[in-house]
């Protein structure tokens, strides 16, 4: 049986107000990337995520970002690498302290894209993850798209896991359409479910120009803060289950 992970970015409370229906999403996904105080999230939301993960049998990943709650972590910054390493380490430690059994790390937003291009930022993130892995006494995969972060993870002795996006538009080169551009975000549950099946079976996705892009991945991502997130997640899970795809966390 083919297998794939289904992850969502959750725990993204802003000012104590949830941006997603975490209870509904945890019931469908196999992994949850939890905001840990950089772009969103607080101690209470992290504790809630740790509790839900245990209740639903969902693997928890840390979702660190630039310390930029004002922009939800979606504006690229250029921090000193040592400061970025310390900031990511602080966020990872906060999630662990909240009781989460962290199994992987996935950078958020602008940091996610920056570590594909910047050797310095990728190295800082990988170093912080490696520090936590040593503290926990186990390896921690880094989840993302290929680029500098994959090479930085290898240098730090960390596994790297590729993901593909179900609700984001793809560029012909394999990157994601900027959120400011047309076609950046998908919201049709049927379309997203069909994409999930194709990615799980073929490892390909159609880009915004109609070309076919290779996007082989061990995990498929849905953004929990999308208005249609729950409907899309349920449609994706049903399609994968009906298609004979085993939805499970690989970590």
3-state SS, one letter per residue, for 138-190: CCCCEEECCCHHHHHHHHCCCCEEEEEECCECECCCCCECCCCCCCCECCCHH
In whole angstroms, give the CA distance from residue 101 to residue 94.
12
CATH number (domain holding residue 54)? 3.20.20.370
- Asked if residue 188 belongs to a domain, the reply is no
The tokens for 41 are: 């999230």
- Asked if residue 181 belongs to a domain, the reply is no
- Asked if residue 123 belongs to a domain, the reply is yes
The tokens for 63 are: 């979702």
For Cα atoms 114, 101, 223, give the angle at the middle one, nearest 5 degrees: 45
Kind and range of the H or E element at 247? strand 246-247
- Asked if residue 243 belongs to a domain, the reply is no
In whole angstroms, give the CA distance from residue 71 to residue 110.
10
- Count up the domains in the chain and report the number: 1
- Asked if residue 89 belongs to a domain, the reply is yes
- Asked if residue 202 belongs to a domain, the reply is no
- Asked if residue 180 belongs to a domain, the reply is no
Going residue by residue through the chain, which has 251 residues, state the pLDDT in tens, using 9 for 90 and above: 699 999 999 999 999 999 999 999 999 999 999 999 999 999 999 999 999 999 999 999 999 999 999 999 999 999 999 999 999 999 999 999 999 999 999 999 999 999 999 999 999 999 999 999 999 999 999 999 999 999 999 999 999 999 999 999 999 999 999 998 999 999 999 999 999 999 999 999 999 999 999 999 999 999 999 999 999 999 999 999 999 999 999 99
The tokens for 246 are: 């085993």
Distance from the Cα of residue 47 to its chain's centroid: 19
The pLDDT score that the predictor gives to residue 1 is 65
- Asked if residue 159 belongs to a domain, the reply is yes
Q: Which residues pair with 17 in a beta bridge?
A: 14
In whole angstroms, give the CA distance from residue 71 to residue 85.
20
In whole angstroms, give the CA distance from residue 168 to residue 199.
13
**188 phi and psi, to 5 degrees?**
-85, 115
Could you tell me the residue range of the domain that residue 102 belongs to? 3-167+218-227
């Amino acid at each position: 049986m083919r297998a794939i992970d289904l992850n969502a970015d959750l725990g993204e409370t802003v000012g104590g107000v949830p941006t997603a229906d975490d209870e509904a999403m945890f019931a469908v996904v196999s992994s949850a990337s939890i905001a840990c105080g950089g772009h969103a999230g607080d101690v209470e939301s992290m504790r809630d995520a740790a509790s839900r993960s245990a209740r639903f049998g969902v693997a928890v990943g840390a979702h660190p970002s630039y310390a930029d709650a004002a922009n939800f972590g979606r504006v690229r910054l250029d921090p000193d690498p040592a400061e970025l390493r310390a900031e990511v380490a602080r966020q990872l430690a906060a999630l662990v302290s909240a009781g989460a059994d962290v199994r992987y790390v996935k950078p958020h937003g602008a940091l996610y894209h920056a570590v594909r291009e910047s050797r310095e930022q990728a190295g800082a993130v990988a170093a912080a993850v490696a520090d936590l892995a040593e503290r926990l006494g186990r390896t921690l995969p880094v989840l993302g798209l290929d680029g500098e972060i994959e090479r930085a993870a290898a240098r730090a002795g960390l596994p790297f896991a590729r993901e593909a996006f179900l609700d984001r538009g793809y560029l012909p080169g394999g990157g994601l359409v900027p959120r400011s551009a047309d076609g950046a975000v998908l919201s049709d549950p049927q379309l997203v479910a069909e994409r999930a099946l194709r990615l799980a079976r073929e490892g390909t996705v159609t880009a915004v120009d109609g070309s076919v892009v290779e996007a082989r991945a061990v995990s498929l991502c849905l953004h929990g803060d999308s208005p249609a997130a729950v409907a899309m997640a349920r449609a994706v899970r049903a399609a994968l289950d009906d298609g004979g795809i085993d939805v499970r966390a690989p970590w």
